[in-house]
């Protein structure tokens, strides 16, 4: 079986199409700070509108845990959708209640409606399949066909992801198609040298992707909070830096495996350390074997890779033909500890090869540092989904659309 695409749905003129999009954008005081996921959804919406369909867009925002949380309302998203589409976007103040039913009933041909946050309904994320299916049936009543385009949730079993596609003629949207093309390239046909850059807080979040990619790459560059578990596994003192003690043996295994395979597994040579986790913390630059030897006291912790490490990593990236990056190099939200991430992002933008940013914080970091998405080969909208795909897992939200993991 192959992934079903929009053209398998036939003539959509005059039909209502439910589109599951990923609109999980960051908000600050009700203002969207990064609209990348909305922009990534536009091509699918426009294709369906050009085909004469009306759209009932469904999505989630944050983790409200089945309750209506006003600060996680999708209403600001509807306003931004209207700006980007250049046409009105109606908004329902619930998911399958009176507002949604009324708005769907009044939706004109070619109109666009966004329903309220799906996760305000506890059935969306219920572990009980029967509860999810019941909610999916209520959603299915709003449309004649279903397009799944929320790549950021296709690794989850949720009503709008795995049950709804079984109730209507269903297909994958353009965004999911682009994601699969880009990420499959990293598994099956990467040009060499191939470099993977991994950061973020925890090694445990990256174990499976390291397992699957380590035999395929020439370079593995480690940054972020996960660095300190690697350093601890090597025997270095790391002060109060984030360490996962239960992962130290696994990390030692990766260090040994990389050596056997001839993979250049690179760790920092210098670290920016601080006396506490705060934007205004006092900081120092320390060699990697002197993290605990600064004058900042016993509570010192690493919050960014140092400038020499960043320079070395950037050179490897620029010399590569394929690069995958997932996870910031430090606490990029604090300007004092963002330089490592900024240097890596710039190197990816400068790299003449094929570059992929694996969604989540990495994509947000690149945009916050002034890089447009088209500076890179592909910017994924799904951090967890992209990692699980690169781990070789069968993603349930894709399997239901006919996709088979290679």
Contact 309, 291 (CB under 8 A): no
3-state secondary structure of 356: strand
**pLDDT attached to residue 341:** 96
- The CATH 3.40.50.1260 portion of the chain extends over 6-177, 190-391
**Percent of the chain scored above 90 by pLDDT?**
85
- What phi, psi does 12 have (nearest 5°)? -105, 0
- Active-site entry in 110, 290, 384, 392: 384
H helices, E strands: number in the chain: 13, 17
Give residue-wise pLDDT tens across range 186-234.
998 899 999 999 999 888 989 889 999 999 999 999 999 999 999 999 9
Strands (E), 199-248: 219-222
CATH number corresponding to 190-391: 3.40.50.1260
Contact 331, 277 (CB under 8 A): yes
- Active-site entry in 101, 202, 276, 393: 202
The reply to whether 105 belongs to the active site is no
Sign of the dihedral through C-alpha 228, 232, 237, 241: positive
- Active-site entry in 4, 37, 240, 367: 37
**pLDDT attached to residue 406:** 60
CA distances from 303 to 147, 290, 312, 334 (A): 42, 14, 18, 9
CA distances from 291 to 152, 163, 201, 233, 285 (A): 37, 50, 18, 15, 9
The reply to whether 360 belongs to the active site is yes
Closest residue by Cα to residue 184 from 396, 386, 345, 400: 386
Distance of alpha carbon 358 from alpha carbon 234, whole angstroms = 27
Annotated binding site: 22-24, 37, 60-63, 119, 156, 206, 302, 333, 359-362
Annotated binding site for substrate: 22-24, 37, 60-63, 119, 156
The reply to whether 284 belongs to the active site is no
Low-confidence ranges of the chain (pLDDT < 50): none
Contact 301, 242 (CB under 8 A): yes
Annotated binding site for ATP: 206, 302, 333, 359-362
Strands (E), 276-404: 283-287, 301-305, 322-326, 354-357, 378-379
Give residue-wise pLDDT tens across range 77-129.
999 999 999 999 999 999 999 999 999 999 999 999 999 999 999 999 999 99
Query: Judging by DSSP bridges, how do beta strands 16-20 and 54-58 pair with one another?
Result: parallel
**pLDDT attached to residue 361:** 80
pTM for the full model? 0.90
Cis peptide preceding 16, ω within 30 of 0: no
Three-state secondary structure readout of 90-149: EECCCCCCHHHHHHHHHCCCCCEEECCCHHHCHHHHCCCHHHHHHHHHHHHCCCCEEEEC
The reply to whether 137 belongs to the active site is no
Q: Annotate 320-354 with DSSP letters as a single string.
A: -SEEEEES-SS-TTSGGG-HHHHHHHHHHHH-SSE
- Active-site entry in 360, 382, 383, 397: 360
**pLDDT attached to residue 298:** 84
- Per CATH, which fold does 6-177 belong to? Rossmann fold (3.40.50)
């Amino acid at each position: 079986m192959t992934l079903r695409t929009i053209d398998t749905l036939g003539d959509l003129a005059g039909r209502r199409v439910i589109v599951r999009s990923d609109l999980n954008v960051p908000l600050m005081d009700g203002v969207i700070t990064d609209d990348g996921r909305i922009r990534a959804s536009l091509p699918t919406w426009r294709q369906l509108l050009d085909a004469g369909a009306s759209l009932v867009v469904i999505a989630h925002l944050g983790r409200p845990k089945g309750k209506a949380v006003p600060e996680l309302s999708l209403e600001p998203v509807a306003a931004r959708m209207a700006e980007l589409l250049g046409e009105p976007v109606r908004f329902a103040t619930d998911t399958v209640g009176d507002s949604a039913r009324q708005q769907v009933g009044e939706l004109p041909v070619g109109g666009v409606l966004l329903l309220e946050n799906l996760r305000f309904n506890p059935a969306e994320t219920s572990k009980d399949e029967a509860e999810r299916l019941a909610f999916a049936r209520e959603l299915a009543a709003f449309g004649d066909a279903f397009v799944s385009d929320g790549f950021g949730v296709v690794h989850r079993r949720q009503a709008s992801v795995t049950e709804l596609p079984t109730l209507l003629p269903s297909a994958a949207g353009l965004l999911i198609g682009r994601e699969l093309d880009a990420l499959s390239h990293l598994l099956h046909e990467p040009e060499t040298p191939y470099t993977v850059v991994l950061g973020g807080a925890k090694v445990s979040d990256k174990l499976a992707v390291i397992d699957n990619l380590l035999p395929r790459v020439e370079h593995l560059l480690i940054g972020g909070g996960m660095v300190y578990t690697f350093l601890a596994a090597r025997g270095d003192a790391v002060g109060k830096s984030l360490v996962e003690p239960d992962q130290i043996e696994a990390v030692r295994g990766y260090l040994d495996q990389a050596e056997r395979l001839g993979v250049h597994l690179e760790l920092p040579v210098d670290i920016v350390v601080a006396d506490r986790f705060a934007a205004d913390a006092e900081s120092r630059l320390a060699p990697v074997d002197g993290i605990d030897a600064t004058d900042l006291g016993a509570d010192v912790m690493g919050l960014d890779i140092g400038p020499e490490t960043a320079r070395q990593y950037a050179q490897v990236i620029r010399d590569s033909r394929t690069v995958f990056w997932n996870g910031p190099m430090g606490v990029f939200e604090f300007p004092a500890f963002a330089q490592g991430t900024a240097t890596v992002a710039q190197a990816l933008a400068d790299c003449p090869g094929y570059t992929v940013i694996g969604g989540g914080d990495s994509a947000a970091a690149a945009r916050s540092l002034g890089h447009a998405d088209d500076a890179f080969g592909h910017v994924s909208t799904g951090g967890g989904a992209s990692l699980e795909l690169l781990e070789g897992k069968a993603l349930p939200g894709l399997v239901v659309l006919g996709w088979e993991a290679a």
